[in-house]
């Protein structure tokens, strides 16, 4: 597979072959049209096809070419938003449903793997949340109390972690977590969807939607898919201009893969309690180096920051490596480095269901908050029930139209942060002349009353385009790690030449004035 969402190379893309597909070249009709062929879109498509629905799946890149390929592929219902906080926001019943839904998602993935005989290294493991100081130990006890309130009684407090170098403090042990190879799974799932009668069109960029009793998704080339139902699973919804983007914020997250000798690190999921926190898992028998037969890959993620709002991004990998060598001193060389993008909802839980303010037959899934694998599977299960007219106990919890008065503070904070980004229109540029931009880098330059994004390729040729994001008009910033222009407001990303990589923007950056 090609790396289509950035310059870095995730471990998952190597030696993966997706089913053969082609672009959309005609106007077609179907029962359900799904836009976005990551794990959420393919899962939803597969489950609906198994119900006998005629489903068409559209993707701007290749299958799994977006954020699904940039995960660390944890499968967990020990959620990033602590259950003590989820009880405050959603009550004990809501927090209990959140834990149960992500647990059911792991079960569903395991069921699909068995039904479709998908070889994807799925392994059930325990998860460990560990403290590293006295305050975190107190917070750990609060979390245990919250878990007991919602009836999750098989999470237990351990005096010692499974690895002596991890911490001297206690940890919580969560049973029945899991991990897998996400693109092996996605390839098998897409194949099963096609065998169930589904259709997939890749390299088909959707730029416009028409909704009503019949919905249409219209490609850049002008081809349309008309359907009775539309599902948008593009990480952040490209069919929504404003509403959903005020309810969540885009963050970049980083991952490294280091070689470790087999057996030196117990196979489990690990999470610390820092802010931003770190998350760890193993990928067995995979390092990518020579003499790798007795080596596993230790995958470590973290060091998150708001998209487009940080400098010296490559130093995030250095910080991850320092943290890893402190807690996993047996780790050897760094073999992989990559980054991805997650959407953090203001109230801690994702959004799955009918798109607010749209016709009743339009659905979205977004706001995965670092739990993209399970959240996407919940989306497939819940949206399938909604389309099939069946009740689902999670519908209200994940409703995109929900208003949570207890999260108003976070809502205001994130939207004030967005408003503050517009100050960049009156600041000087980073360079005064395109010749100051070095090969392989990008800089923002003021050009009269406007700002221009200048990229210098490896041959020394300078390329200029407008620095104004085509979503809602914020100014983009250069991402040195992924060699992309990233919007600090709502997370749209563009390649060095201004072409859209990820939404909510659907149009490329304009020409430089």
**What is the C-alpha to C-alpha distance for residues 172 and 268, in angstroms, rounded to an integer?**
13
Q: Please report the pLDDT score of residue 420 as a whole number.
A: 59
Give the pLDDT of residue 429.
86
Q: Is the predicted pLDDT of residue 422 greater than 60, yes or no?
A: no
Cβ atoms within 10 Å of 458's Cβ, excluding its own: 7
Q: Do 55 and 45 form a contact (C-beta atoms < 8 A)?
A: yes
Place of tokens 């940080």: 310
pLDDT in tens, 130-167: 999 999 999 999 999 999 999 999 999 999 999 999 99
Residue 287: what pLDDT?
64
Residue in the structure block whose two tokens are 């706001």:
367
pLDDT confidence of residue 513: 76
Residue 512's contacts (CB-CB under 8 Å, 6 or more residues apart) are 447, 450, 452, 453, 464, 465, 466
pLDDT at 30 over 80: yes
Between CA 112 and CA 39 the distance in angstroms is 13
Q: Which residues of 380-391 are buried (b: 16+ CB within 10 A; e: fewer)?
A: bbbbbbbbeeee
Asked whether residue 338 carries a pLDDT value surpassing 70, the answer given is yes
pTM for the predicted model, two decimal places: 0.93
Q: Give the per-residue pLDDT at 288.
A: 54
Condensed to tens digits (0 to 9), the pLDDT of residues 424-467 reads 666 788 889 999 999 999 999 998 888 999 999 999 999 999 99
How far apart are the two ends of the chain, measured CA to CA in Å? 36
CATH of domain 423-502: 2.102.10.10
- pLDDT of amino acid 170: 96
Is it the case that residue 291 has pLDDT exceeding 90?
no
- Does pLDDT of 104 surpass 80? yes
The set of residues, in sequence order, having a beta carbon less than 8 Å from that of 278 and lying 6+ positions away, is 271, 272, 300, 301, 302, 303, 320, 323
- The token pair that represents 321 in the structure block: 């490596």
Helix, strand, or coil (residue 158): strand
C-alpha to C-alpha distance for 279 and 286, rounded to whole angstroms: 18
- Contact by Cβ (8 Å): 158, 140: no
pLDDT of residue 292: 55
Burial class (CB in 10 A: 0-12, 13-18, 19+), 376: buried
Mean predicted lDDT score pLDDT of the chain = 93
> Omega of the bond prior to 342 within 30 degrees of 0, cis?
no
Angstrom distance (rounded) from CA 365 to CA 353 = 7
pLDDT higher than 60, residue 395: yes
* pLDDT class of 6 with cuts at 50, 70, 90: confident
Residue with tokens 């230790």: 298
pLDDT digits (tens, 9 = 90+) for 184-215: 999 999 999 999 999 999 999 999 999 999 99
């Amino acid at each position: 597979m090609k790396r289509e969402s950035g310059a870095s190379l995730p471990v998952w893309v190597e030696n993966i072959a997706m089913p053969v597909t082609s672009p959309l070249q005609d106007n077609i009709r179907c029962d359900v049209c799904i836009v976005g062929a990551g794990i959420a879109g393919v899962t939803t498509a597969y489950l609906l096809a198994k119900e006998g629905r005629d489903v068409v799946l559209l993707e701007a890149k290749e299958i799994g070419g977006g954020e699904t390929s940039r995960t660390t592929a944890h499968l967990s219902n020990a959620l990033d938003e602590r259950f003590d906080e989820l009880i405050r926001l959603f009550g004990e019943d809501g927090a209990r449903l959140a834990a149960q839904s992500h647990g059911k998602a792991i079960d569903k993935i395991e069921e699909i793997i068995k039904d479709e005989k998908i070889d994807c290294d799925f392994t059930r493991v325990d998860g460990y949340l560990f403290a590293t100081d006295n305050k975190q130990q107190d917070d750990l006890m609060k979390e245990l109390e919250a878990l007991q309130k919602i009836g999750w009684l098989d999470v237990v407090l351990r005096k010692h972690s499974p690895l002596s170098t991890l911490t001297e403090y206690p940890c919580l042990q969560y049973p029945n977590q899991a991990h897998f190879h996400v693109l092996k799974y996605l390839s098998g799932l897409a194949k099963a969807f096609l065998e169930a009668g589904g259709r997939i069109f890749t390299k088909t960029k959707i730029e416009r939607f028409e909704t009503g009793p019949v919905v249409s998704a219209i490609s850049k080339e002008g081809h349309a898919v008309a359907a009775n139902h539309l599902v948008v699973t593009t990480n952040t919804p490209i069919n929504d201009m404003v509403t959903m983007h005020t309810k969540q914020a885009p963050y970049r997250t980083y991952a490294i893969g280091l070689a470790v000798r087999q057996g030196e690190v117990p196979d489990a999921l690990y999470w610390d309690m820092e802010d931003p926190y770190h998350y760890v898992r193993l990928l067995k028998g995979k390092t990518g180096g020579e003499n790798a037969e007795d080596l596993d890959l230790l995958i470590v993620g973290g060091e998150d920051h708001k998209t487009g709002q940080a400098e010296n991004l490559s130093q995030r990998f250095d910080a991850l490596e320092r943290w890893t060598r402190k807690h996993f001193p047996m780790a050897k060389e760094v073999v992989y480095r990559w980054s991805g993008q997650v959407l953090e909802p203001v109230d801690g839980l994702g959004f799955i269901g009918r798109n607010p303010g749209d016709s009743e037959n339009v659905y979205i899934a977004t706001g995965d908050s670092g739990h993209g694998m399970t959240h996407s599977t919940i989306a497939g299960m819940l949206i399938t029930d909604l389309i099939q007219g069946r009740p689902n106990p999670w519908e209200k919890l994940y409703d995109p139209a929900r208003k949570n008065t207890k999260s108003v503070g976070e809502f205001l904070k994130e939207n004030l942060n967005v408003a503050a980004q517009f100050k960049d229109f009156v600041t000087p540029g980073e360079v005064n002349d395109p010749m100051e931009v070095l090969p392989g880098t990008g800089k923002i330059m003021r050009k009269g009353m406007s700002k221009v994004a200048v990229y210098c390729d490896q041959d020394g040729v300078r390329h200029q385009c407008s620095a104004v994001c085509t979503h809602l008009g914020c100014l983009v910033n250069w991402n040195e790690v992924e060699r992309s222009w990233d919007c600090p407001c709502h997370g749209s990303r563009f390649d060095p030449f201004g072409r859209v990589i990820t939404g909510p923007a659907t149009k490329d950056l304009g020409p430089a004035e």
